Homo-oligomer: A and B are copies of this chain.
Amino acid sequence: MKAIAIDLGGTNIKAAVVDQEQGIIEQTSTPTHADLGRDYLLDRIASTVAELTKADGAIGIGMGLPGMVNREQTTIYYAPNLPGWEEVNAAEEITKRTGLPCRIENDANIAALGSLHFGVGQKHDDFIILTLGTGVGGGIIVNRQLFKGSRGMAGELGHVIIDYHGPLSNSVTRGTIEAYLGQRFLSRFASDMIMQHPENPLYKKFSKDFDKLEPVDLTQEANNGNQLAIEILAKTGQRLGYAIINYTHMMDIRKFVLSGGVSKAGEWLFEPAREIVKKHMMVPFQDGFEIIYEDLGNDSSLLGAAGLAFDSFA
């Protein structure tokens, strides 16, 4: 079985033919230019799909995009980075232009479907994925299906509060987990810590321009045995632990799949998170608790979009 997958990103439109067994068998890409307007972008998506030469027999199209999507997975309700797309039945517009049935879903939910169909999530009926990138996204799988809530917008896990007095992020609320684990916020926290330690190699490297400090630098230094880097990542992992407690106490989901750039810090983050969970999560929820690293990398969005098509049209 094959499906067409589209990843509508801020920079590029990617399209692929994905086989359920073999994964991505063909892939193409074109710049997005969202600023040229919705209809132009819809036409570009269709022409990108038309370039695919191995699409014969595909059962339908799944598309991931940066926005909130309704329960029916057809219409976007909130898309700050896609001007003109709000309350547009994008699935129908794509079908008009391609002749194929289409469903859409937001990026983090697509990542969850990628893991469910092609990644570590294959082994779990119920799990939560956290995408740790520029922002923190979330997707919730219950009984091998996306949990969408009453209107389709469930899983805004980056906007769950762990300290209502805490720092601001892109959120309208203080102390959400995104304010600690989002890339920029983690870098800012790290800079504040490093500024207090002029003897540290990280100070020497970044004190002239802290804007260049990225989470990967912390991971590298932690791997080198730099105690300050280890401490910064540990503190961040502890905060992740508190967020996970909130998700689990609420939904009784015990498998956490972590993906995205910041998750590459791996055990430097995960082990402190596990320690907090062990200490502060209610005992009956501990059995079967697991944090798992997802390694699908850049392909996860296309694989997830294909998963959406398989779930919708197979």
Contacts and interface: CB of A to CB of B under 8 A. Distances in A.
A268 B280 CA distance: 32
A140 B281 CA distance: 20
A239 B164 CA distance: 9
Interface of A: 68, 77-78, 125-126, 138, 140, 142, 147-157, 159-165, 171-175, 239, 242, 245-247, 249-254, 279-285, 287-288
Given A68-B284, A161-B242, A164-B163, A251 B251 contact: yes
Contacts of A280: 172-174
30 contacts: A77-B284, A78-B284, A142-B149, A147-B251, A149-B251, A149-B252, A149-B253, A150-B253, A150-B288, A153-B252, A154-B250, A154-B251, A155-B250, A156-B282, A157-B249, A159-B249, A160-B246, A160-B250, A161-B162, A161-B245, A161-B246, A163-B165, A171-B282, A172-B280, A172-B283, A173-B245, A174-B280, A246-B250, A250-B250, A250-B251
A177 to B, nearest CB: 10
A251 B152 CA distance: 9
A249 to B, nearest CB: 4
Contacts of A253: 149-150
For this chain, the copies found in one complex come to 2
Given A279-B172, A280-B173, A153 B242 contact: no
B150 A254 contact: yes
Contacts of A151: 252, 254, 287-288
Contacts of A163: 162-165, 175
Contact of A252 (B154, B162, B282, B283): B154
A123 B285 CA distance: 32
A156 B284 CA distance: 11
Contacts of A239: 164
A245 B249 CA distance: 15
Contacts of A150: 125-126, 142, 252-254, 288
Nearest to A159: B249
A50 B246 CA distance: 42
Contacts of A242: 161, 164, 173
Contact of A247 (B162, B173, B250, B282): B250
Q: 10 closest Cβ contacts across the A-B interface?
A: A149-B252, A126-B150, A154-B252, A78-B284, A173-B280, A156-B249, A153-B252, A159-B249, A164-B242, A149-B251
Contacts of A172: 279-283
Given A150-B288, A151-B252, A161-B161, 18 more contacts: A77-B284, A78-B283, A138-B250, A149-B251, A149-B253, A150-B254, A151-B287, A151-B288, A152-B252, A153-B252, A153-B284, A157-B249, A159-B282, A161-B162, A161-B242, A163-B164, A164-B239, A246-B246
A162 B160 CA distance: 9
B249 A160 contact: yes
Nearest to A242: B164
